[in-house]
Structure 1
Amino acid sequence: MRRALLAGAALLCGSAHAAAGPNAPDMGKLLATGGVAQLEGAGGGGLTPWALITGYGSGASWGANAHATTVRTQDYALHTYGIAVGITDRVELSFARQEFSGSLAPLDHLKIKQDIAGVKLRVLGDAVYEQDSGLPQIAVGALVKKNKGVGGLGALGVTSVTQLGARDDGGIDFYVAATKIDLAHSLLWNGTVRFTKANQMGLLGFGGDRGNRLKPQFEASLAWLINRKWVAGVEYRMKPRNLGVDNEKDAYDAFVAWFPNKNLSLTAAYAVLGDITVFNPTNQRGLYLSAQAGF
């Protein structure tokens, strides 16, 4: 999956480069309008994908970036790293690897990895240049997820998320996102509806004893553009509740992002992720840090 995604990105980027001429990538978009790297690799906020296309390539160009993100709560850590490509400000391709680990018994040796390939298509509107229109920018997307198994629980005979009650170790999230940037009031808002059966983003598999169908989940972001280089905001993300062993709760955060230039962004947030499995029934909360570099 990863090789196929990268090959497709290379082919599409090559086509976009040829169309845009020798000066591509042109970095023609406004600073911060590509968003930051979302936890699953898509361009957007930390918790939810936006309708914005990643990178700074204009409609005649392309852009790309790499990111690394870490979230640490009382009992767990999540590390995500990946790449994303935006083509003609209309198509986005991404790949991310998530690595989840535990630090408190009985899950102090827990290790879970997940690969996520993403695609996003802008279908309507322009969040930046259509300031006189009430219509937001709208995009549709999909995140193809494959859980790589459970490590550290061999003594309990658990090596797969299906042994924890999940129906499958792979699945696809489908989403529709709407984003509007109001430059007159320095505000950005986003609403996303995700159709998913992923447990904890897929880290605990897909479906379970409480449900095994795609469920619509609402996600939202509101950001204040403090100035050209600083953005602060809040996010909220609903999550399905498919597993009896996981009292999954909705997640939310408050974040601040710094864009010193078009090649780098740094994001810090305080995130509340809710319970993660009945073995550590504590409301998990902690610091989110992310760095993204690209063009």
Structure 2
Amino acid sequence: MHLTKQLACAGLCAVMSWETAGAQEMNRPDMGKLTATGGVSSVEGTGGGGITPWALISGYGSRDSYGANVHYTQLNTQDYALKSYGVAMGIADRVELSLANQEFTGSLAPLNALKIRQDIVGVKVRLAGDAVYDQDSWMPQIAIGALYKRNNGIGGLEGLGVTNVKQLGAKDDHGTDYYLAATKILLDQSLLLNGTVRMTKANQMGLLGFGGDKKDNYQAMLEGSVAYLINRKLAAGVEYRMKPRNLGVDNEKDYYDAFVAWFPSKNLSITAAYARLGDITVFNPKNQRGWYLSVQAGF
């Protein structure tokens, strides 16, 4: 948790610096950033793509302002559903703070009554670069972040004697992901490129706990996104997210998705995707894939 505290302190220092620099004159957000450059909301609440964080800061506030948004995301596969909702705030285009809640449910026996909830608190700090305005340089925007996650237990499996992820082999019901993201927007080519390295113990993003009977150490997982900006309000792309394999009861697979994001205005974005999540548990060894829809509103 030391890095989490350091990031929180860095965010607080940035807020204090922004205030002392004359934030009292900023009575409302300026929405000075280009459309789509705040990204969309991931299923974990961070600004970026649907399944991986980017170095971009949520909201449309410039370095002299702030921005915020709320999101609701629904992901449905053949046998499972994931809901995510939350709020994120970007301050001075430097710091991002986010809160999210996830709810994972099943629809196929013996997991048809399954319900798992997880809370996520995130902080992200931009370290260097500007993904948009440094067009004369290959230097990307770089950010470091942390996501603290707490699993709230397992519902619907009381008949099997399972109420906690530790009973499935997880070592903990809470944990922290740390990540370093680099994002570059190439305006002449209408491309967005992102690469993220995540240090994690999370099983299925933490929905099945952290660490396990097979492994219980932090592992570096690679994530990536490529998006083509069709026009100023429409983008399409693909994403990839590597996953650890810690649990004997979970033959965890990497995530993939192909998405289209529409930005009718800076106050609203709608993202639709086809996602492939692989196996979820040995109780239902089926390649899970399906649709994803996310709505984000803010300023």
TM-score normalized with structure 2 length: 0.93
SS in 2 for 1:162: helix
The amino acid that maps onto 1:227 is N
Query: Cα distance, 1:175 vs. partner?
Result: 0.2
Q: 1:194-241: CA deviations, max 9, x gaps?
A: 000000000000000110011000000000000000000000000000
Of the candidates 248, 266, 270, which is equivalent to residue 252 of structure 2? 248
Q: Retained in 1: the 8 A contact 2:104–2:115?
A: yes
Match for residue 105 of structure 1?
A: 109
Of the candidates 176, 179, 188, which is equivalent to residue 172 of structure 1? 176
The amino acid that maps onto 1:74 is Q
Matched, 1:126 2:144: no
Match for residue 75 of structure 1?
A: 79
State the alpha-carbon separation in 2 of the partners of residues 20 and 162 from structure 1: 48
SS in 1 for 2:179: strand
SS in 1 for 2:121: strand
Q: After the TM superposition, which residues 121-270 of structure 1 pair with which residues of structure 2 at under 5 Å, given as runs? A: 121-270=125-274
Match for residue 97 of structure 2?
A: 93
State the alpha-carbon separation in 1 of the partners of residues 195 and 76 from structure 2: 26
Deviates more, 1:255-264 or 1:23-32: 23-32
CA gap of 1:261–1:16, structure 2 versus 1, over 3 A, is farther
Which consecutive aligned stretches of 4+ in structure 1 deviate over 4 angstroms post-superposition?
11-14
Of the candidates 115, 119, 142, which is equivalent to residue 119 of structure 2? 115
CA gap of 1:286–1:16, structure 2 versus 1, over 3 A, is farther
CA gap of 1:215–1:294, structure 2 versus 1, over 3 A, is same
State the alpha-carbon separation in 1 of the partners of residues 22 and 152 from structure 2: 37
TM-score normalized with structure 1 length: 0.95
Matched, 1:283 2:291: no
Q: Retained in 2: the 8 A contact 1:17–1:25?
A: no
CA gap of 1:17–1:259, structure 2 versus 1, over 3 A, is farther
State the alpha-carbon separation in 2 of the partners of residues 112 and 223 from structure 1: 32
Q: Retained in 1: the 8 A contact 2:26–2:65?
A: no
Quote the sequence identity (%).
70
SS in 2 for 1:241: coil
Q: After the TM superposition, which residues 14-93 of structure 1 pair with which residues of structure 2 at under 5 Å, given as runs? A: 15=19, 19=23, 21-93=25-97
CA gap of 1:29–1:17, structure 2 versus 1, over 3 A, is farther
State the alpha-carbon separation in 1 of the partners of residues 24 and 74 from structure 2: 35
Query: Cα distance, 1:91 vs. partner?
Result: 0.2
Query: Cα distance, 1:22 vs. partner?
Result: 3.7
Query: Cα distance, 1:16 vs. partner?
Result: 8.5
Q: CA RMSD in A?
A: 1.7
Q: 1:179-206: CA deviations, max 9, x gaps?
A: 0000000000000000000000000000
CA gap of 1:187–1:16, structure 2 versus 1, over 3 A, is farther
State the alpha-carbon separation in 2 of the partners of residues 213 and 114 from structure 1: 21
Query: Cα distance, 1:74 vs. partner?
Result: 0.4
The amino acid that maps onto 1:44 is G
| Structure 1, unpaired ranges of 5+ | none
The amino acid that maps onto 1:235 is E
Query: Cα distance, 1:19 vs. partner?
Result: 1.3
State the alpha-carbon separation in 2 of the partners of residues 124 and 254 from structure 1: 29
CA gap of 1:199–1:60, structure 2 versus 1, over 3 A, is same
The amino acid that maps onto 1:46 is G
Query: Cα distance, 1:279 vs. partner?
Result: 0.5
State the alpha-carbon separation in 2 of the partners of residues 250 and 53 from structure 1: 25
Q: Retained in 2: the 8 A contact 1:146–1:171?
A: yes
Query: Cα distance, 1:28 vs. partner?
Result: 0.3
